[in-house]
Amino acid sequence: MATDTTPSTSAEVPTASRAAWREVYVLSGMRGLSFAGDIAAETAIALQLQANGAGSYAVMALLLAATVPPVLLSPLTGRFADRFDSRTLMVSVGSLQALICVAMTIWSSPAVLITLSVLLSAGLAFTHPVFGSLPSAIVGKENVPRASSISQTTAMAGMVAAPGVAGFLIGRFGVQVPLLIDAVSFAAVVAGGLFIKTRLHKGRGGASAEQNEPAEQAPETPYKVTSDRFLTAVLVLSGAVMAAASIINVLIVFYVRETFGASEETFGLIMSAWMLGLIPGGMLVRRLKKMSHEAILIGTFLCIAVAILGTGLAPGVWWILPFYFLGGIGNGAQATVTHILLNVRVPDTHRGRAFAALGAVSNTGPAIGYLVGGAIMSFTSPRYGFLAAGVFALVALAVFANGVLRSADSKTPAAQLNEAV
């Protein structure tokens, strides 16, 4: 697909040009820097709250500030991504987010930091659907697996590097430097948005020639992600497994430090194992060419569930390392293949809404998991919490996996509409 025109007027071709792949790498770099900057900033804000004497409720409010806005705003952000010029959204929202990060270095009271975190998260809710929709527009659906793998792997690399870099910077220079780095990462998003020539919906509210005809029928047959049984099953299963993975995020520090009496260094190594697994997991999807995407997806969820359950059964602390690495592989592959499926199955004119729905699920699962994890600690030990979370993930997989596999070959609402026409 040519990159010097809007995707809606470009014909899909089996191969993409070098210029198109350059845009994919720029988009991937933008996402990687954004993820790294966000994690560094989140670490800095949490430390700033603690330094200012804020208690656990303030930290919980900070976590909710990062997860709730994408859930509440998903219907609105999806429509924005499907209607407005992608370059305008990336540049305007990225500029505002950079200013918010700078403001965080000036006003450091807990209430202000949490409020600004809400605004920052709201901005991410607007840009992430655009990031997810662009690969298909840049290189065509035939090349989406490679493009999504590149994008997800780069983003995960940013997530892996960020905690260590943030810790070093905070120790040497204080919390302001990571916040300024996050501002720079958003400035990079602005620069990347200006560099990428491929534009979704060029011109405000502008759909192009190929989109105009279906757009006229949109009021009669509005697209919803839930109208695709396969994607609905995928999102429900993703939410359930991610909730289980988030439960253990609350429990792991108590499990490692209290149950096994391990050191802080051992805890840090274990947490790094999951993050390190994300990168080969994202790259693995491109290598499994003989397997269907839905089969790979079920395999990724199985890896995560086994990793959680295996961690709960670990006889010693070092047994946790391979299980956490396995969980990271599953997590990385799951994120990549989900992005591929949305790009391939969802119509161009509604892809933003699909990625907004994915963002809502990706934030709702962790939010529920955090609450459940905290509740588990009040009446049982961390080991039993891990076992319960692992069993829950396996049960969810048993219940919904069949629905995912059976509905994988079902026609998308877009295909049904084309047949009707």
Verify that 200 and 243 share a domain, yes or no: no
Verify that 406 and 257 share a domain, yes or no: yes
In a domain, 220, yes or no: no
**pLDDT digit string, tens, across residues 218-276:** 444 455 666 778 888 888 888 888 888 888 877 887 888 888 888 867 877 887 788 88
Q: How far apart are CA 339 and CA 216, in angstroms?
A: 28
Among 11-20, 246-255, 299-308, name the most confident range: 299-308
pLDDT at 216: 41
pLDDT at 206: 39
Model confidence band, residue 174 (pLDDT cutoffs 50, 70, 90): confident
What's the distance, Cα to Cα, between the start and end of the chain in Å?
26
Verify that 287 and 383 share a domain, yes or no: yes
pLDDT at 167: 65
Q: How far apart are CA 284 and CA 333, in angstroms?
A: 7
pLDDT at 383: 92
CATH number of the domain within which 317 lies? 1.20.1250.20
> Which residue type, as a one-letter code, is found at position 275?
M
> Which residue type, as a one-letter code, is found at position 106?
I
| Mean pLDDT (whole number) for 185-195 | 89
Model confidence band, residue 357 (pLDDT cutoffs 50, 70, 90): confident
pLDDT at 326: 95
Number of domains composing the chain: 2
In a domain, 421, yes or no: no
Q: Choose between 355 and 408: higher pLDDT.
A: 355
In a domain, 1, yes or no: no
The secondary structure of the chain in percent helix, strand, coil, rounded to multiples of 5, reads: 85, 0, 15
Q: Is 52 a residue whose pLDDT tops 90?
A: no
pLDDT at 387: 94
Q: Is 59 a residue whose pLDDT tops 70?
A: no
Q: Choose between 4 and 131: higher pLDDT.
A: 131
pLDDT at 409: 67
Q: Which of 310, 331, 329, 335 is closest to 320 using CA atoms?
A: 310
Q: Which of 131, 115, 136, 112 is closest to 26 using CA atoms?
A: 131
Verify that 240 and 171 share a domain, yes or no: no
Q: Is 39 a residue whose pLDDT tops 80?
A: no
Please work out, in degrees rounded to the nearest 5, the angle formed at the alpha carbon of residue 27 by the alpha carbons of 324 and 335. 30
- The overall average pLDDT reported for the chain is 77
Verify that 45 and 155 share a domain, yes or no: yes
pLDDT at 410: 60
Q: How far apart are CA 311 and CA 391, in angstroms?
A: 12
**pLDDT digit string, tens, across residues 95-147:** 998 999 899 888 877 888 888 888 888 888 888 888 877 887 888 877 877 88
Domain that holds residue 61: 7-205
Q: Which of 295, 277, 310 is closest to 394 using CA atoms?
A: 310
pLDDT at 53: 67
Verify that 184 and 54 share a domain, yes or no: yes
Q: 334 and 375 in contact (C-beta within 8 Å)?
A: no
pTM above 0.85, yes or no: no
Q: How far apart are CA 402 and CA 279, in angstroms?
A: 28
Burial class (CB in 10 A: 0-12, 13-18, 19+), 290: exposed
Verify that 201 and 238 share a domain, yes or no: no
Verify that 288 and 181 share a domain, yes or no: no
Q: Is 291 a residue whose pLDDT tops 50?
A: yes
pLDDT at 313: 95
Verify that 86 and 31 share a domain, yes or no: yes
Verify that 198 and 231 share a domain, yes or no: no
Burial class (CB in 10 A: 0-12, 13-18, 19+), 191: middle
Percentage of residues in the chain having pLDDT higher than 70: 82
In a domain, 365, yes or no: yes
Owner of token pair 């990062």 = 66
Structure tokens at 257: 């430090």
CA atoms within 13 Å, Cβ hemisphere of 238: 26
